[in-house]
Structure 1
Amino acid sequence: MKKKVAVLTILILFFSVISTFAQIGTIDLNQLTENENGIVFFKGTPYTGTCFENHSNNSKGIDGSFKDGKKEGIWYWYYETGQKKRESNFKAGKLHGVSTTWYKNGQKRSEIIYEMGKSELSKQQRWDNNGKLMPPALL
Structure 2
Amino acid sequence: MAKDETSHTLLQKGLAPAPRAPEPPPPPRSQYFESFVDFVSDKDLHEGAQNRNEIASFAKEQWRTEQQEGAKRDLELQRQTQAKQQLIKADGAPHVLVALAGEDTEVRDYLVRLVAARGPEGR
Q: Give me the TM-score of the superposition, normalised by structure 2.
A: 0.29
Q: Where is the strand percentage greater, Structure 1 or Structure 2?
A: 1
Q: Where is the helix percentage greater, Structure 1 or Structure 2?
A: 2
